[in-house]
Chains A and B, each alone.
Chain A
Amino acid sequence: MLYREAGDFKTSYTSDNQTFPIRFDRYGYYFVLGVAFLIMPLILNDYWTNALVVPFLIYTIAALGLNILIGYCGQLSLGTGGFMAVGAYASYKLMTGFPDLNIVFVILLSGLITAGVGVLFGLPSLRIKGFYLAVATLAAQFFLIWLFTRTPWFFNYSPTGMISAPTRTIFGVPVTGASASAVSMYMVCLVFLVALAWLARNLTRGTLGRQWMAIRDMDIAAEIIGVNPLWSKLTAFAVSSFYIGIAGALLFTVYLGAAEAGEAFGIDKSFLVLFMVIIGGLGSIFGAFAGAFFLIAGPVLLKIMLVDNLGWPTDLAAHLEIMIIGALIIVTLILEPHGIAALWRTIKEKLRLWPFPY
């Protein structure tokens, strides 16, 4: 099997511009989709769904969102956890306020609400950049969590301060609440992820994506060639928050079932998603997948290996996990700032020329 473009001539700009210009990649992509939709539902068990697959799908959505903001538009944000909380609490209020509203709309609306909140907190980005913007979004993170834990209206005055998701169905199949099966949870998250990844790909390869990247690379030059900084930054905040809000809503309704803002959506979640984006690759759709997989599957596999197979104590394994992730982030930042995605690209470039590199 040869991996190259030769003999695969592009006869139009559309085909030159497609997502997977190399035929082999295209088939690989269809194959992965086929496995995800047809084979995975047959072989998934409860353990793997809960421990790995569903969190991976949901966090990939969050990483896609954050990558649009940081990787494409160059606006640093540490408020991801807070925005996920907005999605979660919005979905809770919608589910309890409008019991007849289909869960798909609940989740989409939660994304839209989060997009609005994101735009609001994105406004300072017009004035401040880099480090100072990061601090402002950090403030947003703490403010939002404070708001959701201190305002009883958001958790319907429940004495525990927790929100919990009632059962909702799609085509009669429960997808939230205690009776939801692993497969139905998986399918809901998968459909959302595939659709959102496709939309993200379209947005980033078109004129809006180029405007974001122009702002990222050199905002002054971008403005002088006609990019409206206000519009580009706020759309990036809106789209990014839309994704993160949907991730938060899915995490709460489908995966956790019950949550408390400070615990489920704390600052550690902001950093987790940020690390996914950095390790996976800034400014790459594939990178969001790679980063989320790495940081979700890594700890699970490490635990299986060390605790279950080698009999290490759990806390020791947990410490080791933190050290490994920390080291990896430093190594990535130094050696390959564009993360796993860039590594993958380099390998593919080599492969395209193999076996005659000249």
Chain B
Amino acid sequence: MLDTQPDEGYTTADGRKIGGVAMEMKNITLRFGGVVAIKDISFDIRWGEVRAIIGPNGAGKSSMLNVISGFYNPQEGEIIYKGYRRPRMRPYQVARTGIARTFQNIALFEGMSVLDNIMTGRLNHMKANIFQQALWWGAAQREEEENREKVEKVIDFLEIQHIRKTPVARLPYGLKKRVELARALAAEPSILLLDEPMAGMNVEEKEDMCRFILDVNDEFGTTIVLIEHDMGVVMDLSDRVVVMDYGKKIGDGTPDEVRNNEEVIKAYLGVTDD
């Protein structure tokens, strides 16, 4: 029995096909001791859309992604994913349901090469047991090669061929962000969560990143949830926007609707328009 009613989705004004509801957040409340990071927030994410979450610093945006990826368990509320109520899960179990993410502060494996970092992203697709791996035999060897091919596609897609074998620790900031995206993409997720993928980048790097995000959405149909401070980027990229302030949802809709929402203008756009 499904926990929600299926629906068909719709087509946007500029002709993009948006699917039914992929994930529904219902009355989520998350507290850290006395601090209420998320207050009774509900919203949904549809298949194939780019869903942005915006809000001033400390609004609770990252906490929201952490709830989705299972890193925090909310005290109240529930998550409906693919039609079913999601039970409490550890983050690695959430990852196996097809959710991948990047972090606000880069979280790459610094001691490994770019290639190994991205290959790690594919671990949910690798099933060889420990004995096959030890003997480098059968499934182990075959999987390694098949997955390497997939990884090479991601490497080509993000144009990082030249740093394939470089230890991650040696890369500049902008490239690290890109490698982190590559690692998340390698998992071939159904939903990709991006926490400020463009923070700290220069204009050119931002443009590249925008292009990659749109291409991922277009070519693979990946649903994307994006946190971003740059309003221009948000307006360009996203289909729908959730606005948060002090842990509360103060707006939800298309970029145009949100831009003209009184409360949003007062709380966010008016104050920190950059």
A225 at the interface (CB under 8 A from B): yes
Q: Is B140 an interface residue (CB 8 A)?
A: yes
Q: In the complex, are the beta carbons of A13 and B116 less than 8 A apart? A: no
Known A-B contacts A206-B133, A218-B109; the reply to A223 vs B144 at CB < 8 A is: no
Across the interface, which residues of B come within 8 angstroms of A222, CB to CB?
Answer: 109, 120
- CB distance B123 to A227 under 8 Å? yes
How many residues on chain B are close to A (CB under 8 Å)? 43
Is residue A210 within 8 Å, beta carbon to beta carbon, of the partner chain? Answer: yes
Q: Does A347 contact B (CB under 8 A)?
A: no
Cβ–Cβ < 8 Å partners of A213 in chain B: 109, 111-112, 116, 120
Q: In the complex, which residues of chain A have a beta carbon less than 8 angstroms from the beta carbon of B96?
A: 226
Q: Looking across the interface, which residue of chain A has its beta carbon closest to that of B141? A: A14
B114 to chain A, nearest CB (A): 13
Cβ A221 vs Cβ B108 within 8 A: yes
Can you name the residue of chain B whose Cβ is closest to the Cβ of A207?
Answer: B126
- The residues of B that contact A216 with a CB separation of less than 8 Å are 109, 111
B92 proximal to A (CB < 8 A): yes
Query: Shortest beta-carbon distance, B17 to chain A, in Å?
Result: 29
Q: Give the number of residue pairs across the A-B interface with Cβ within 8 Å.
A: 106
Indicate if the CB atoms of B116 and A218 lie closer than 8 Å. no
- Which residues does chain A contribute within 8 Å of B111, judged by CB atoms? 213, 216-217, 283
Q: Is the CB of A210 within 8 A of B123?
A: yes
A217-B109 contact, Cβ under 8 Å, with A17-B148, A208-B130, A223-B92: yes
Return chain A residues, CB-CB under 8 Å to B134.
199, 202-203
A202–B143 Cα gap in the complex (Å)?
14
Q: Chain B residues with Cβ under 8 A from A17's Cβ? A: 144-145, 148
Query: Within the complex, what minimum Cβ distance (angstroms) separates B30 from chain A?
Result: 17
- Asked if A220 lies at the interface with its beta carbon under 8 angstroms from chain B, I say yes
Interface 1/0 per residue, A186-226 and B, CB below 8 Å: 00000000000001001100111011011011101111111
Is B100 an interface residue when CB atoms closer than 8 A count as contact?
yes
Within 8 A of A (CB), among B53-71: 69-71
Chain A residues whose CB sits within 8 angstroms of the CB of B116 once the complex forms: 210, 213
Contacting pair B145 A235 (CB below 8 A): no
CB 8 Å contact bits of B30-53 with A (1 = contact, 0 = none): 000000000000000000000000
Q: Does A262 belong to the interface (CB within 8 Å)? A: no
* A228 & B92 in contact (Cβ 8 Å cutoff): yes
**Which residues of A are found within 8 Å of B70, using beta-carbon distances?**
224
Give chain A nearest CB distance to B170 CB in angstroms: 12
Given A13-B152, A224-B71, A226-B96: A217 touches B144 (CB 8 Å cut-off): no
User: Is B272 interfacial (CB 8 A cutoff)?
Assistant: no
> By the criterion CB–CB under 8 Å, are A225 and B100 in contact?
yes
In the complex, the answer to whether B123 meets A207 with C-beta atoms within 8 Å is yes
Q: Is B88 an interface residue (CB 8 A)?
A: no
The minimal Cβ–Cβ distance linking B76 to chain A, given in whole angstroms, is 23
- Residues on A with beta carbons closer than 8 Å to the beta carbon of B121: 225
CB nearest neighbor in A for B147: A207
B136 at the interface (CB under 8 A from A): yes
Contact of A210 among B90, B120, B124 (CB under 8 A): B120
A14 x B145 contact (CB < 8 A): yes
The yes or no answer to B110 lying at the interface (CB within 8 A) is yes
Q: Does B119 contact A (CB under 8 A)?
A: yes
Q: Which residues of B contact A203 (CB under 8 A)?
A: 130, 133-134
Q: Shortest Cβ distance from A327 into chain B, in angstroms?
A: 26
A161 within 8 Å of B by Cβ? no
Point out the residues of chain B lying under 8 angstroms from A217, CB to CB: 108-112
**B residues within 8 A CB of A220?**
71, 107
Nearest Cβ on chain B to A193's Cβ, whole angstroms: 15
Q: Is the CB of A207 within 8 A of B109?
A: no
Contact across chains for A221 and B107 when beta carbons are under 8 A apart: yes
Which of chain B's residues have a CB closer than 8 A to the CB of A225?
92, 95, 100, 120-121, 123, 183-184, 187
Q: Is A229 in contact with chain B by the CB < 8 A criterion? A: yes
Which chain B residue has the least Cβ–Cβ distance from A209?
A: B133
Contact of A218 among B107, B144, B152 (CB under 8 A): B107
Known: A213-B116, A217-B109. A206 touches B91 (CB 8 A): no
The answer to whether A224 touches B109 (Cβ under 8 A) is no
A210 to B124, CA, bound (A): 12
Contact A226 B124 (CB under 8 A): yes
How many angstroms from the CA of A203 to the CA of B135 in the assembled complex?
8
Complex interface: chain B residues within 8 A of A211 (CB): 120, 123
* Residue contact B123 to A224, C-beta cutoff 8 Å: no
Give residues 68-104 of B contacting A (CB, 8 Å).
69-71, 90-92, 94-96, 100-101, 103
Residues of B within 8 A of A206 (CB): 128, 133, 136, 140, 144
Task: Kindly provide the distance from the CB of A126 to the nearest chain B CB, expressed in whole angstroms.
Answer: 12
Q: Which residue of B lies closest to A210 (CB)?
A: B120
Complex-state Cα separation, A13 to B69, whole angstroms: 33
Nearest Cβ on chain A to B212's Cβ, whole angstroms: 19
| Contact of B149 with A by CB under 8 A | yes
- 19 A-B Cβ contacts within 8 A? A14-B141, A202-B140, A203-B133, A206-B128, A207-B119, A207-B133, A210-B112, A213-B120, A217-B108, A218-B108, A218-B110, A221-B103, A221-B109, A223-B91, A225-B92, A225-B183, A226-B92, A227-B92, A227-B123
Interface residues in chain B, defined as those with a beta carbon under 8 Å from any beta carbon in chain A: 69-71, 90-92, 94-96, 100-101, 103, 107-112, 116, 119-124, 126, 128, 130, 133-136, 140-141, 143-145, 148-149, 152, 183-184, 187
Given contacts A210-B123, A213-B111, 10 further A-B contacts (CB under 8 A): A13-B145, A13-B148, A202-B134, A202-B135, A206-B133, A206-B144, A217-B110, A218-B110, A222-B120, A224-B101
